[in-house]
Amino acid sequence: MSKYSVIGTRVHRVDGPEKITGSAKYTFDLVLPNMLYGKILRSPHPHAKVLKIDTRKAEKLIGVKGVVTGKDTIGKKQGIWRRFPELCDEEILCRKKVRYIGDAVAAVAAIDEDTAEEALDLIEVEYETLPAVFDPLEAIAEEAPQIHEGVELNININRHIEWGDVDEAFKKCDHIREDQFVCSSQAHVCMETHDAVASFDYGGKLTMWTSTQSSYYIQRLLADMTGLREGDIRVIKPPTGGGFGSKFELDSAQFCAAILSMKLCKPVKIVLSREEEFTATKRRTPMYYFLKLGAKKDGTLLAKEVRVITEGGAYTGMGATALYLTGFFSSFPYKYPNYRYDGYRAYTNTAPTSAMRGFGAPQSTFVGESQLDMMADDLGIDPIEIRRKNGMTPNYEVPGQAYIQSCGLHQCLDKIEEHIKQRGKLPPNHGIGVSAYGFMSGGIFNWFDTPYAFSSAIVRVNIDGKVDLFTGACDVGQGSDTTLSMICAEELGVKLDDIRIHSADTGICPPDLGAWGSRETLMNGNAVKRAAADAKNQLLEFAAAKMGINIVHDLDIRDCRVYLADRPERGISYYDVVKEAIRGKDGEAIIGRGHYTPHRKGMISPAYSFGVQAAEVEVDPETGRYELINVTTAHESGTVINPVGIEGQLEGAIMMAGGYGYCEDQPMDEGKILNPSIADYKLIRSLDMPETKILEIDTYEPEGPFGAKEAGEGLTNPTAGAIANAVYKAVGVRINTLPITPEKVFRALREKEAKKKKK
Amino acid sequence: MKKELKLTVNGQPYEVYVPPKTLLVQVLRDQLGLTGTKRGCSDSSCGACTVMLNGMAVKSCSILALQANGAEVRTVEGLAKGAELAPLQKAFLDHGAFQCGFCTSGMLMASTALLAENPKPTKEQIKEGIDGNICRCTGYNSIIRAVTAVVKGEYKEEK
């Protein structure tokens, strides 16, 4: 008999039947009686004073029901780093100043979208344009225009991490490399754009349906920004068309829909256009990296010094977290005895940068893994070998930062080495590049300042044995509804089909911080497991009495049967126990509660997952064009709860991370994003997608539910570095800036040839 | 000035009146309430709105509704027969060929049209068949595996 009945089995997603029949109702699909449609007017200037907004003509247009500007707000600035008021710097509806092309200044509600759009043209905004700055390196210069009042040199935030004696250690190194890298931006490109339906009623209660990664955050942030009490706001997340980090801050669709609905006491729906999605929502943080790495002849890494300047864009958002995590993950997944990081986030007059899948780690992994291969090359050491020599191991403490319990990095290296050997001698112009990574299982530092447990769940066992699971966890496509239902079914000993999950509705679910930082499986999984265990224990009390068993025996439930743990042949039906237990409780359903907040796990994360990826490319040396042939990933994420889910996360991450390495970019001119459409923003399509192979490594994470930890976000980290290293292996050119476009490869090849000729 | 539009959607004839610039996707979603068909962009580049028009895959945001006058349209709502799922739908479930689900209707319709035209496509032809459809979650390979499983006859349609 296998250890588990539900966990590790290949199941259908619990939301599957709805999604494959087109019956799932997304926020995008919702229509309420009397509903109005909203549109948002945005700044065409990267930096300007707002002198006057005249909405009179727009208000007179037939079909327009209301217009709001900053004057209709309570005049507060918002931010998700609520613990630090100075980082709450965004008005959403700007009153006095706009700071990027896309900043919102007014919103209209009308009987249909066309009318609302027409009304936007009738709003007259008088701006006084100001000098603007777009490049973070220029923004921190003395003469640069100041973007936020009182923020010297436009430095939004800085971060320092240090252990050991870096300067002393560099003196002992046999070889030191200093390199610079530039990491580009990336758009999330969720298939469902940001959208919200807000309905404020005459009783003073606001209900919002929205495409979000955290209904709890949106509830709390709406309370901050509207002056309503948290309990008067109910946020419901219907099925959601992707998040990837873009949907857990309060956005303009949510805020403007709420303000309009509160003014008009009618439901208002706002759906951002794809162009707004590209230009007026947040994006991945571009970073300028300066790296110094020192090693002994034998490849032992002694010291690393990292300096980073990030392009913050106009507001903080989650940028402070990205700045910290890129510094922390710059040390991953290696045991640096001496390490120093200094990161600076500069405000610029560009679209704000914030969280995106990987959260600073795809950047640090690209630069770190590129430089490590360069170091290995200098020292004449095999790339796998240098990683093996320095790689993290179980029960390792990142000095003063984090404690790593489970770690399967070395098994992953072995598997990838085997894979490369099996591939044998490569055809000409082919190269395999390797990249190793680690990632966290949810964040600990409470910048949001929530007074609640990080995750909580309620399990209700009903008279027929069916189970309702209530949790604030947000399934945005990654599959948490399925994974959490599996955890619940396993712990309670019932079938997956017995569980009905109710998630991400603040009106009925206990709070959860939401789906970001790879936290749901471990954190909410622990809460669900505890809630299910609580319900199970209540059932077992009745079962023990009913079965009249000796006190020395333990009872358990599995496959809907209650049995003696050490004498499984003695058992009774779970369904009978439920009926009697509820009768015994005077008819009260069995209710189990569970919550989880990491304690004594440092400031970063309670657990880390690891992996190694090998990317094979074929480069055309004439044109620089290259093809991603195969991406093989050895990966460990503790106990695999939902294998179909992990496969999907892994392959999907390669599409997104491969795009980051290969083609996705947001070129700008004077703060204007030049490719704000899916036609012009190049994404990996089915024909570009490489073959993918997964080599799963078994580990067990003591802190996670059934031994599980992060699986999905970390997979965004390795690919850009693996591609860079593969291109180098194939044709001997090193590209230090993302994305690694064929054009860059072409130019580098020509430069290399020219140098050769000179010699 | 609204114009009369007659079309058949999933076997059901409809007669509606639409302004001439109305797109087919707008009629399907807003007038007929068939919200299974999604929209992910405004320039026919994402494929989320793919439907079948007289048997061919068409991005329903790329044609005017009036161009579909007299046509047979099939949307994702027309794939299952009552509670019985179509082979592709079953394969999508088994292979985890969707996550957020927002592109799924378009993927299913592009694949259905592909198999209607070519019941035995190669892997490369399957990739070509869905190349107009963006999926930001799955990385496409699970979708290709699901379609391949149907091609191999692993999912028989119940007559």
pLDDT in tens, B44-96: 999 999 999 999 999 999 999 999 999 999 999 999 999 999 999 999 999 99
Residue B158 lies in a domain: no
Cβ–Cβ contact A643 with B under 8 A:
no
Contact A362, A661 (CB under 8 A): no
Q: How far apart are CA A581 and CA A758, in angstroms?
A: 87
Considering only residues 62 to 91 of chain A, which have any Cβ-Cβ distance to chain B shorter than 8 Å?
none
> pLDDT tens, A365-416?
999 999 999 999 999 999 999 999 999 999 999 999 999 999 999 999 999 9
pLDDT for position B156: 80
Contact check, Cβ <8 Å, B40/A654: no
Contact A66, A139 (CB under 8 A): no
Please report, for chain A, the start and end positions of each structural domain, with discontinuous segments joined by +.
16-23+454-596, 31-130+188-279, 357-444+604-758
Chain A residues lying within 8 Å of B98, measured CB to CB: 13, 16, 19-20
Question: Which neighbouring-strand residues pair with A93?
Answer: A104
Q: What is the CA radius of gyration of chain A?
A: 27
Contact check, Cβ <8 Å, B93/A476: no
Q: How far apart are CA B98 and CA B100, in angstroms?
A: 6
CATH number for position B97: 1.10.150.120
Cβ–Cβ contact A479 with B under 8 A:
yes
Cβ–Cβ contact A290 with B under 8 A:
no
The CATH architecture annotation of domain A31-130+188-279 reads Alpha-Beta Complex (3.90)
| Residue B76, min C-alpha distance to chain A (Å) | 6
Q: How far apart are CA A316 and CA A352, in angstroms?
A: 7
Residue B38 lies in a domain: yes
Contact check, Cβ <8 Å, B40/A191: yes
Q: Is residue B37 located within the same domain as residue B72?
A: yes
Residue B156 lies in a domain: no
Contact A577, A536 (CB under 8 A): no
Amino acid at A300: T
Q: Is residue B48 located within the same domain as residue B8?
A: yes
Q: How far apart are CA A534 and CA A537, in angstroms?
A: 5
What is the H or E stretch that residue A543 is in?
helix A525-547
What single-letter DSSP state applies at residue A703? T
Question: Which neighbouring-strand residues pair with A161?
Answer: A341
Q: Is residue B22 located within the same domain as residue B55?
A: yes
Same-fold call for A16-23+454-596 versus A31-130+188-279: no
Mutate to test the interface with A, among B29, B38, B98, B102 (most CBs of A within 10 A): B102
Q: Helix, strand or coil for residue A292?
A: strand
Chain A residues lying within 8 Å of B92, measured CB to CB: 16, 20
Chain A residues lying within 8 Å of B93, measured CB to CB: 12-13, 16-17, 20
Q: Helix, strand or coil for residue A550?
A: coil
Q: Is residue B63 located within the same domain as residue B12?
A: yes
Class (C level, CATH) for A357-444+604-758: alpha beta
Burial label for A380, CB within 10 Å (0-12, 13-18, 19+), is exposed
Contact check, Cβ <8 Å, B134/A274: no
Q: How far apart are CA A139 and CA A224, in angstroms?
A: 30
Residue written as token pair 């399934």: A475
Q: What is the largest CA-CA distance in chain B?
A: 51
pLDDT for position A551: 86
Chain B residues lying within 8 Å of A691, measured CB to CB: 141
Chain A residues lying within 8 Å of B137, measured CB to CB: 191, 242, 477-478, 648, 652
Which segments of A104-221 are extended strands (E)? 104-110, 124-129, 155-163, 175-183, 195-200, 206-210
Q: How far apart are CA A345 and CA A315, in angstroms?
A: 10
Question: Which neighbouring-strand residues pair with A41?
Answer: A106
pLDDT at residue B158 is higher than 70: no
Contact A162, A339 (CB under 8 A): yes
Contact check, Cβ <8 Å, B104/A479: no
Q: How far apart are CA A677 and CA A690, in angstroms?
A: 24
Contact A456, A472 (CB under 8 A): yes
Q: How many C-beta atoms lie closer than 10 Å to residue A579's C-beta?
A: 15
Q: How far apart are CA A236 and CA A122, in angstroms?
A: 33
- Interface A-B, measured as beta-carbon pairs within 8 A, has a size of 173
How many domains would you assign to chain B?
Answer: 2
Q: Is residue B10 located within the same domain as residue B66?
A: yes
> pLDDT tens, B7-20?
999 999 999 999 99
Smallest Cβ–Cβ distance between B35 and the set A10, A25, A192 belongs to A25
Q: How far apart are CA A212 and CA A240, in angstroms?
A: 7
- DSSP labels, B112-136: HHHHHH-SS--HHHHHHHTTT---S
Chain A residues lying within 8 Å of B143, measured CB to CB: 686
pLDDT for position A79: 96
Q: Which residue of A has its CA nearest to B85?
A: A21
Q: How far apart are CA A680 and CA A674, in angstroms?
A: 9
Q: How far apart are CA A345 and CA A158, in angstroms?
A: 6
Burial A75-88 (b: 16+ CB within 10 A, else e): eebbbbbbeeeebb
Q: Helix, strand or coil for residue A287?
A: strand
Mutate to test the interface with B, among A9, A14, A19, A31 (most CBs of B within 10 A): A19
Q: How far apart are CA A619 and CA A727, in angstroms?
A: 7
Q: Which of A311, A313, A293 is nearest to A303 (CA)?
A: A293
Cβ–Cβ contact A476 with B under 8 A:
yes
Mutate to test the interface with A, among B135, B136, B142, B150 (most CBs of A within 10 A): B136
- DSSP labels, B52-97: EETTEEEETTSSBGGGGTT-EEE-GGGTSBTTBPPHHHHHHHHHT-
Contact check, Cβ <8 Å, B138/A13: no
- The whole model's pTM is what? 0.97
Side-by-side strand order, sheet with A206-210: A64-69, A104-110, A36-42, A268-271, A195-200, A206-210, A233-236
Mutate to test the interface with A, among B30, B141, B142, B143 (most CBs of A within 10 A): B141
Contact check, Cβ <8 Å, B104/A19: yes
Residue B135 lies in a domain: yes
pLDDT at residue B159 is higher than 60: no
Contact check, Cβ <8 Å, A679/B131: no
Contact A434, A312 (CB under 8 A): no
Q: Is residue B43 located within the same domain as residue B7?
A: yes
CATH number for position B23: 3.10.20.30
Cβ–Cβ contact A12 with B under 8 A:
yes
Residue B131 lies in a domain: yes
Q: How far apart are CA A249 and CA A155, in angstroms?
A: 22
What value of ipTM does the predicted structure carry? 0.98
What single-letter DSSP state applies at residue B158? P
Residue B113 lies in a domain: yes
Q: Is residue B104 located within the same domain as residue B68?
A: no
Residue written as token pair 């707008």: B26
| Residue B24, min C-alpha distance to chain A (Å) | 16
Cis omega (within 30 of 0) for bond into A718: no
Token code pair at residue A361: 């780690």
Print the domain residue range for B109. 87-151
Residue B91 lies in a domain: yes
Q: Helix, strand or coil for residue A570?
A: strand
Smallest Cβ–Cβ distance between B139 and the set A652, A677, A678 belongs to A652
Smallest Cβ–Cβ distance between B41 and the set A478, A656, A677 belongs to A677
Q: What is the CATH number of domain A16-23+454-596?
A: 3.30.365.10
pLDDT for position A1: 60
> How high is the mean pLDDT of chain B?
96
Mutate to test the interface with A, among B85, B100, B123, B133 (most CBs of A within 10 A): B100
Chain A residues lying within 8 Å of B105, measured CB to CB: 22
Q: Is residue B27 located within the same domain as residue B72?
A: yes
Please identify, among B78, B98, B126, the residue that sits at the C-terminal boundary of a domain: B78
Chain B residues lying within 8 Å of A20, measured CB to CB: 85, 89, 92-93, 98, 101, 104, 108
Side-by-side strand order, sheet with A287-295: A155-163, A338-347, A301-313, A287-295, A175-183
Point out the residues of chain A with pLDDT beneath 50: none
Q: How many C-beta atoms lie closer than 10 Å to residue A101's C-beta?
A: 24
- DSSP labels, B34-57: -TTS----SSS-S-TTEEEETTEE
Q: Which residue of B has its CA nearest to A693?
A: B141
Q: How far apart are CA A136 and CA A671, in angstroms?
A: 12
Q: Is residue B10 located within the same domain as residue B73?
A: yes
Cβ–Cβ contact A661 with B under 8 A:
no
Cis omega (within 30 of 0) for bond into A739: yes
| Cα pseudo-dihedral A273, A275, A280, A285, rounded to 10 | 130
pLDDT at residue B99 is higher than 80: yes
Token code pair at residue B159: 């007559």
Q: How far apart are CA A529 and CA A545, in angstroms?
A: 24
| Cα pseudo-dihedral A463, A465, A466, A471, rounded to 10 | 90
Q: How far apart are CA A147 and CA A315, in angstroms?
A: 10
Instruction: Please give the C-alpha separations between residue A114 and each of A37, A118, A286, B30, B40, in angstroms, as whole numbers.
Output: 9, 6, 36, 14, 18
Helix axis angle for A252-264 and A215-226, nearest 10°, is 50
Q: How far apart are CA A679 and CA B43, in angstroms?
A: 7
Contact check, Cβ <8 Å, B101/A189: no
User: Cβ neighbours of residue B25 under 8 Å, at least 6 residues apart?
Assistant: B37, B39, B49, B51, B60, B61
Q: What is the largest CA-CA distance in chain A?
A: 92
Token code pair at residue A235: 């946020």
Q: Is residue B19 located within the same domain as residue B64?
A: yes
Q: Judging by DSSP bridges, how do beta strands A561-564 and A555-558 pair with one another?
A: antiparallel
Q: How far apart are CA A48 and CA A44, in angstroms?
A: 9
Residue B157 lies in a domain: no
Chain B residues lying within 8 Å of A26, measured CB to CB: 38, 102
pLDDT for position A549: 87
Considering only residues 711 to 730 of chain A, which have any Cβ-Cβ distance to chain B shorter than 8 Å?
none
Q: How far apart are CA A309 and CA A367, in angstroms?
A: 14
Q: Is residue B67 located within the same domain as residue B110?
A: no
Q: Is residue B56 located within the same domain as residue B107?
A: no
Token code pair at residue A249: 């801050």
Q: How far apart are CA A107 and CA A289, in angstroms?
A: 39
Residue written as token pair 């935030």: A157
The rounded percent of chain B whose pLDDT value lies above 70 is 99
